[in-house]
Structure 1
Amino acid sequence: MGFLKYKGYTGSVEYSEEDNCLFGKVQGMSKHTITYEGQTLDELRQDFEGAVEDYLASCAERGVEPCKPYSGTFNVRVSPEIHSAIAAMAQQAGVTINAFVRQVLAKEAKLAY
């Protein structure tokens, strides 16, 4: 599966053998569903961008803040041993556990922190 990106939104790229078309859905939207389709990758990209624009325009018309695909907050359950090790490494680095985990995740995701 591939992905499209537009204005901070990420959409999937999938193929339906039954319908003989490409389709997708904006990822990470818990309260809204934004879908799109096309016969070619260019058509799919245009419909994806149009769907995002329609969503943003609809929110503006209603005076509501558009949902962001990801809130930036998630919970991860780990064993007490891992929690303790992370806390020790964070303390040694002179940062909070949250800052330490953000740094590690950004490095692994190859993103600038």
Structure 2
Amino acid sequence: MKYLKYKGYTGSVEYSEEDDCLYGKVQGMSKNAITYEGKDVNELKKDFEGAIDDYIKLAYQ
């Protein structure tokens, strides 16, 4: 399995044959679940980074 990294967070990369898409979840989070998905690697990375940015905005308001 490969991982994405952004701003100190690490996310998994999985493939769903049923949905024909890539998806993942940020690793090491006990309270919150941050998930993301995309049809290709670029879309997956964009959604992952956007999810992290959104989480940081909400967590540190």
Band the TM-score falls in, shorter-chain normalisation: over 0.9
Structure 1 length-normalised TM: 0.53
- AA aligned opposite 2:42: D
Percent of aligned pairs sharing the same letter: 67
- Structure 1 position 59, deviation (Å): 1.1
- Give the number of aligned pairs: 61
Q: Distance in 2 between matches of 1:17 and 1:58?
A: 33
Please, which runs of 5 or more residues in structure 2 have no aligned partner? none
Question: Where does the alignment leave 5 or more consecutive residues of structure 1 unmatched?
Answer: 62-113
Match of 2:25 in 1: 25
Query: Partners in 2 of 1:59 and 1:31 — Cα distance?
Result: 12
Q: Note the aligned Cα RMSD (angstroms).
A: 0.6
Misfit runs of 4+, over 3 Å: none
Instruction: Tell me which residue corresponds to 2:43.
Output: 43
Question: 1:40 corresponds to which letter in structure 2?
Answer: D
The normalised TM-score by structure 2 is: 0.96
